[in-house]
Amino acid sequence: MESGARFGDLTLSEFEERLASAEPVPGGGSASAIAGSMAGSLLAMASRLSRDRPKYAVYAATHGRALVVAERARERLLNLADDDADAYAAFGAARKMPRETAEEQEAREEATRVAARKASEVPLEVARECARIIDEVEAMAGRSNLNAASDLEVAARLAAAAARGAAANVMINLPMVGDETFRGAAMVEMTNLLEGVDRLAAEVSERVATGTLRQPEAE
């Protein structure tokens, strides 16, 4: 993206205007990363609403760790939203390269493979960050301010949706990477990540529904 045009510098309205435009970026990949960042922000909020509250003091270690993870992840995901747009732009540029001669065709295909790999790696990292967020959301559910319990459930659902959105971008780009080893490893990792986030999102929902606290994490 152009200097000074990072998505994190835009207002929500400005970002949505760009998302709604006919321009190819930002697209679903960037939207997924932004959704993941919002999940991280909700986790950070729940952590802050629980810290220094006598009722929840026994869970202080969980709150502190979750806050660190949340702040890092939400910032990282904002950056990945930009990276996704850059990756897609590079892929689009590769597909527009000339292909009149054999040499041009070879150069075009090589540029496409490189761009497709980047366009797969970025959303894969988005999914990883979402998995880290939802791990902490699950740990916080039932160990934090009960008044923010529904916010944790929203965080879990946003993180899970963002991971699945990112996965869609991984899968559509993998066939053009031209590296079967990378493709196989990415597909296995993506499958495992999605199974994990879906399971934890369900667990968070069940825990929130009880409206009760649980035992602190084992040290």
Q: What is the pLDDT of residues 105-140, one digit of tens each?
A: 999 999 999 999 999 999 999 999 999 999 999 999
Tokens of 158: 């946003």
Is 5 among the domain residues? no
Specify whether the CB–CB gap between 3 and 43 falls below 8 A. Answer: no
pTM: 0.94
Give me the number of domains the chain comprises. Answer: 1
Specify whether the CB–CB gap between 94 and 115 falls below 8 A. Answer: yes
pLDDT given for residue 5 in this prediction = 73
* Three-class secondary structure of residue 142 per DSSP: coil
pLDDT over 70, % of the chain? 98
Residue 195 to residue 164: CA distance in whole angstroms: 10
For residue 3, pLDDT over 50 is answered with no
pLDDT given for residue 4 in this prediction = 52
In sequence order, what are the residues at sequence separation of 6 or more whose Cβ sits closer than 8 angstroms to the Cβ of residue 6?
78, 82
Residue 55 to residue 141: CA distance in whole angstroms: 15
Is 4 among the domain residues? no
For residue 90, pLDDT over 70 is answered with yes
pLDDT given for residue 194 in this prediction = 97
User: In whole angstroms, what separates CA 92 from the centre of its chain?
Assistant: 22
* pLDDT single digits (tens) 192-212: 999 999 999 999 999 999 999
For residue 1, pLDDT over 70 is answered with no
Is 150 among the domain residues? yes
In sequence order, what are the residues at sequence separation of 6 or more whose Cβ sits closer than 8 angstroms to the Cβ of residue 165?
28, 29, 31, 32, 35, 123
CATH code for position 74? 1.20.120.680
Which structural domain range is residue 145 located in?
A: 25-210
Is 1 among the domain residues? no
Mean pLDDT score of the chain: 95
